[in-house]
Amino acid sequence: MSEEKQEVQSGASTIRDEVLEPYFIGKDHYCYTVYENVTSSEPPNKTYVKSWGHFGKLDAALKSVAQMKVHKKKDFNSLQEYIKEWTNIQEEFNQKLSIII
């Protein structure tokens, strides 16, 4: 589901926040969908929206975003480094959410 210039379904709302970047979340009557704006590496470098998954609850969508942010960094020199990165992302999300609540 990665057509060029694909738009989020009409009738859906989007949740965008710097803590989620480069991802954002679409919400409709049925689920939360995690999306990413992706720019093609080949000319003419078009940007499109890639769908990463559908989730029944917001917390599941946020957990998915956190996991993908950790996985964007390809190499870790230790398990401790991986866990630290995971913890940092979760803390960033928690800080953002605690401000809202």
Nearest partner of 96 among 17, 26, 14, 25, judged by Cα:
17
Does residue 6 form part of some domain? Answer: no
Q: pTM score > 0.95 for this model?
A: no
SS3 assignment, position 80: helix
Residue 8 in any domain: the answer is no
Residues (pLDDT < 70) of the chain are 1-11, 97-101
Paired tokens of 91: 């803390």
pLDDT value for 55: 95
Determine the pLDDT at residue 74: 75
Q: What is the pLDDT of residue 98?
A: 66
Decide: 35 and 25 in contact? Cβ < 8 Å. yes
**Inside any domain, residue 87:** yes
Let me know if residue 48 belongs to a domain.
yes
Report pLDDT for 99.
53
State the residue range of the domain holding 56: 13-100
> Could you tell me if residue 4 is inside a domain?
no
pLDDT at residue 47, rounded to an integer: 85
DSSP single-letter state for residue 25: E
Split into its structural domains, the chain has a count of 1
